[in-house]
Amino acid sequence: MAATAAGVFHTSYASELRLRHTSAERLRLVLVVAGLLTLPWLVNPYWLGIVNTIGIAAIGAVGLNILVGFTGQISLGQGGFLAVGAFTSGLLVQRAGLPVPLAMAAAVLVTAAVGAFFGLPALRLKGLYLAIATIASQEIIIFVVRRWGWLTGGQGFLDVDRLTLFGWRVPRTSFEFVWYWIIAGLAVLAVVTARNLFRTALGRSFMAVRDHDIAASAIGVDLTRTKLMAFAVSSGYVGLAGALTAHYTQTVTWERFTIDVSIQYLAMIIVGGLGSVAGAVYGAAFIMLLPPLLAELADALRTRVPLLADQLPAVQAAAFGLVIVLFLLFEPRGLDRIWRRVKDYVRFWPFRY
Amino acid sequence: MITREYRFPLNSSTVPAGEPVLTVSDVGLRFGGVQALDGVGLTVRQGQIHAVIGPNGAGKSSLLNCVSGLYRPQRGTIRLTRADGAVDLVGRRPHQIARLGLARSFQNIELFKHLTVLENLMLGRHHRMSHALLPALAWFGPARRQEIEHRALVEEVIDLLELQVVRHQPVGALSYGYAKRVELGRALCMQPAVLLLDEPMAGMNAEEKESLARYVLDVNELAGVSVVLIEHDMDVVMDISHTVTVLDFGRLIADGPPEQVRTDPAVINAYLGEAAR
Ligand SMILES: Nc1ncnc2c1ncn2[C@@H]1O[C@H](COP(=O)(O)OP(=O)(O)O)[C@@H](O)[C@H]1O
Ligand SMILES: [Mg+2]
């Protein structure tokens, strides 16, 4: 294999199938890994907490993008699936006394099964109609966790103990630090497995269904199986994000999983780039960073523009809406596309084309 | 001329040459008041190019859609002959029919437009690949190995159809001629028992038509694949096909070798009628 200005040449199919081809790509990987390994020492616990929420959101966004961006099945049920993961894992630890890792693994499987079940309407419905059906599943799930007395005592609320791993209770002082390694590790795992998926036959069949379902069935893709599989796989990731939320925030309440959350996650993958694993991560970071950064900004301008600080929640909501509209208008393919253009510009510099 | 050994048989039918491989009998299909097909029957023989021609709206695409399971005829049978006997295709779902070896192209190009040429062709291999989830997530063992194995056959199809230069391009950006060829390629990658082509040359100029006809002939002669070729244009078809079936208003009006069909009064009438329309 050789990399030249004109392109990259491969001498075997195996080398072509690798995710990283050039030394620049490998260097970038080294930098990302180095960044992830040093980050907890570079930021204070407040910002580390924000990084942790970004990590959890990234896992959920990767999951949602598998369904929406890669398989073309619009879903507004994200909040509901997060709730399933959170309540499953929380209940298994609090009520059944399961160790946290086991409970989270169970939450992944349970959410995958629930996702496949609520994916059934996708066998009949497409586009906006499917979106409406997934809103229904969102509402059904939230209704169940709020009202099913046996689950949450009819409160839709559950307290979860501070994390204990293999008998070791994580101390309050190093809480964010320990969680960082857990979340970062799982987020990396989510990204790597999702990228792997889309270079195999299974992942390609998801994209075939997205691009043209009739043609997909004519080449032998079983639409029923493939759509339900996409719902299950996607929901598995979302369930993991939900379970992490439960143990990280130590409270599970239905209010955290309303349709607003579903919309927020859709915003992440739109801003990041539909049908891109990296894009889901960029989008999660962007959407989760927006409120704290705006808060910082409002604080800095407090004396000169007091309105910004006084009306912070409204400003944050408006900025959220504005960002989505701007992306839809000017770069519907999201941050991932912008980043690719920057890379190409650098790679081909000083040539224009 | 460069000749090349092909390692993979692209034809998967085991029916002896000249024997019936696909038999359509008495197929009737109606949409509300429109009788799209009315008692149509034909026999496709192994190793032949079997053309189905007829004026616009004659029911050619409908017939193909019945064979590949997209439409369900109200009447008739469609039998595929296999090593283990004949199977009726009517009532089976499209992906099951595809797995039995019926590969097709569409009248309006129906590719996976956000994927590259290579990915589209690899999707032609879909039904012969394993789709287990865990190996796919881990990119380990069978998942990785089969990508490399199936790529070898896909590359042969790329060679046969001369798609090398567009291999990594997204199909959405291809010219019309290339896109048509990729669709042919995707169907070929399935290693079909019968290849169904719905107007592969529609919308092409004479030169492009000739080159596409050449590829279809290669597929048939070099790879031994039986082809059902739908074409609106009678002239191209007469040159390359072994048998011609003519439809008009959903009815079969002629069936036989090209030279016989060409002079059939009913056929001349149908086409003259169309010219006058
Ligand atoms: N999905 C459909 N719904 C209703 N009518 C259809 C449908 N498909 C085909 N037809 C009708 O069936 C007849 C045959 O169409 P078609 O098979 O596309 O003809 P051809 O391919 O020979 O041009 C036409 O009258 C067409 O309007
Ligand atoms: Mg037609």
From the CB of B54, is ligand 1 less than 6 Å away?
yes
Amino acid making up residue A75:
S
What are the CA-CA distances from residue A178 to residues A56, A173, B205, B221 (Å)? 14, 10, 67, 67
From the CB of B36, is ligand 1 less than 6 Å away?
yes
- CA A56, A62, A68: angle at the middle one, nearest 5? 135
Q: Do A223 and B139 touch (CB under 8 A)?
A: no
Query: Which residue of chain A has the CA closest to B188?
Result: A219
Q: Of the candidates A196, A210, A275, which has its C-beta nearest B139's C-beta?
A: A196
Task: Give chain A positions within 8 Å (CB) of B158.
Answer: none
- Domain extent at residue A121: 42-348
The residue contributing the CA closest to ligand 1 atom 8 is B62
The residue contributing the CA closest to ligand 1 atom 13 is B36
Q: Do A200 and B115 touch (CB under 8 A)?
A: no
Determine the 3-state secondary structure of B249 from DSSP. Answer: coil
Count of CB atoms within 10 A of residue B181's CB? 23
From the CB of B64, is ligand 1 less than 6 Å away?
no
Task: Give chain B positions within 8 Å (CB) of A210.
Answer: 114
Residue A15 lies inside a defined structural domain of this protein: no
**Core vs surface per residue A304-322: b (16+ CB within 10 A) or e:** eeeebbeebeebbeeebee
Tracing tokens 């790679």 back to the chain, one arrives at A347
From the CB of B56, is ligand 1 less than 6 Å away?
yes
What are A250-295's pLDDT values in tens digits?
999 888 999 999 999 999 999 999 999 999 999 999 999 998 888 8
Residue A21 lies inside a defined structural domain of this protein: no
Residue A349's pLDDT is what?
Answer: 65
The model's pTM is 0.92
Domain ranges of chain B: 19-101+192-277, 113-190
**Ligand with the closest atom to the CA of B63:** 1
Choose from A211, A231, A274 for mutation: most chain B CBs within 10 A. Answer: A211
Residue A13 lies inside a defined structural domain of this protein: no
Residue A88 lies inside a defined structural domain of this protein: yes
- From CA B227, how far away is CA A78, in angstroms rounded? 47
Q: Which CATH architecture has domain B19-101+192-277?
A: 3-Layer(aba) Sandwich (3.40)
Choose from A8, A193, A205, A219 for mutation: most chain B CBs within 10 A. Answer: A219
Q: Of the candidates A17, A211, A217, which has its C-beta nearest B115's C-beta?
A: A211
Tell me which of A352 and A345 has the higher pLDDT.
A345
Mutation choice for ligand 1 from B61, B228, B253, CB with most ligand atoms inside 8 A: B61
What are the CA-CA distances from residue A173 to residues A56, A163, A169, A233, B159 (Å)? 21, 13, 12, 36, 64
**Residues, chain B, total?**
277
Amino acid making up residue A258:
T
- From CA A341, how far away is CA A346, in angstroms rounded? 9
Residue A37 lies inside a defined structural domain of this protein: no
Residues facing B246 on adjacent strands: B53, B254
Query: Which residue of chain A has the CA closest to B96?
Result: A220
Q: What's the CATH code of the domain at A147?
A: 1.10.3470
- State how far residue A172 is from chain B, nearest Cα, in angstroms: 35
- From CA A67, how far away is CA A233, in angstroms rounded? 8
pLDDT tens for each residue of chain B, 277 residues long: 445 566 788 998 999 999 999 999 999 999 999 999 999 999 999 999 999 999 889 999 999 999 999 999 999 999 999 988 899 999 999 999 999 999 999 999 999 999 999 999 999 999 999 999 999 999 988 889 999 999 999 999 999 899 999 999 999 999 998 999 999 999 999 999 999 999 998 888 888 888 899 999 999 998 899 999 998 877 888 889 999 999 999 999 999 999 999 888 888 888 766 655 5
Q: Do A204 and B115 touch (CB under 8 A)?
A: yes
Average pLDDT, chain A: 89
**Is the bond preceding residue A350 a cis peptide, omega within 30 degrees?**
yes
Pairing outcome for strands B194-198 and B34-45: unpaired
ipTM over 0.85: yes
Q: Where are the alpha helices (DSSP H) in chain A?
A: 13-16, 23-42, 45-65, 78-94, 100-118, 127-147, 149-152, 175-197, 201-211, 213-218, 223-249, 259-272, 277-300, 306-310, 312-330, 334-348
Residues facing B245 on adjacent strands: B52, B255
CA of A206 to the centre of ligand 2 (A): 28
Residue A73 pLDDT greater than 80, yes or no = yes
- From CA B80, how far away is CA B273, in angstroms rounded? 34
A221 touches B at CB < 8 Å:
yes
Task: Give chain B positions within 8 Å (CB) of A216.
Answer: 112, 123
User: Taking a C-beta distance cutoff of 8 angstroms, is the pair B182, B169 a contact?
Assistant: no
Task: Give chain A positions within 8 Å (CB) of B146.
Answer: 201
- State how far residue B93 is from chain A, nearest Cα, in angstroms: 8
Determine the 3-state secondary structure of B86 from DSSP. Answer: strand
Task: Give chain B positions within 8 Å (CB) of A222.
Answer: 93, 95
Q: How confident is the model at residue A1 (pLDDT cuts 50, 70, 90)?
A: very low
Residue B1's pLDDT is what?
Answer: 40
User: Cβ contacts of residue A220 below 8 Å, gap of 6+?
Assistant: B95, B98, B99, B126, B127, B190
- From CA A258, how far away is CA B143, in angstroms rounded? 38
Q: Which of A19-33, A52-66, A130-144, B215-229 bottoms out in mean pLDDT, i.e. has the lowest? A: A19-33
Q: Do B98 and A220 touch (CB under 8 A)?
A: yes
Please count the structural domains in chain A: 1
Task: Give chain A positions within 8 Å (CB) of B115.
Answer: 204, 207-208, 211
Greatest Cα-to-Cα distance within chain B, rounded to the nearest angstrom: 64
**Ligand with the closest atom to the CA of B62:** 1
From the CB of B62, is ligand 1 less than 6 Å away?
yes
User: Taking a C-beta distance cutoff of 8 angstroms, is the pair B19, B46 a contact?
Assistant: yes
- State how far residue A199 is from chain B, nearest Cα, in angstroms: 8
Choose from A204, A240, A333, A336 for mutation: most chain B CBs within 10 A. Answer: A204
B123 touches A at CB < 8 Å:
yes
Q: What tokens were used for B37?
A: 């097909």
User: Taking a C-beta distance cutoff of 8 angstroms, is the pair A290, A335 a contact?
Assistant: no
Residue A353 pLDDT greater than 60, yes or no = no
From the CB of B72, is ligand 1 less than 6 Å away?
no
